Amino acid sequence: MRKFDPWPVFFRREFNRNWPFLVGFAITGAFIVKLTAGLTEEDAKNSRFVQEHNRYDLLDLFPIVPEVDPAD
């Protein structure tokens, strides 16, 4: 006699309960990526938020485009 495996039942039940949250997280994540992917360093310099929080110089800590050494 085969042993009963509860995992397929569990995953089916939980997926049926939680799929709206998973879809919502996916849509929200895609929206955030789409909005932030087009930002440039110039946009960051002109941002009021960055200007108000510039005490740590966030642009140098997390550069959008890595600097290239012209000697190479």
pLDDT tens string 23-38: 999 999 999 999 888 8
| Residue whose structure tokens are 């919502």 | 24
DSSP line for 33-44: HHHHHT--HHHH
3-state secondary structure of 53: coil
Check: pTM over 0.85? Answer yes or no.
no
Terminal C-alpha separation, the chain:
70
Fill in the DSSP letter of residue 5.
Answer: -
Over residues 32-61, the pLDDT tens digits come to: 999 888 888 888 788 888 777 765 555 566
- Integer Cα distance of 15 and 10 in angstroms: 8
Dist CA 43 CA 41 (whole Å)? 5
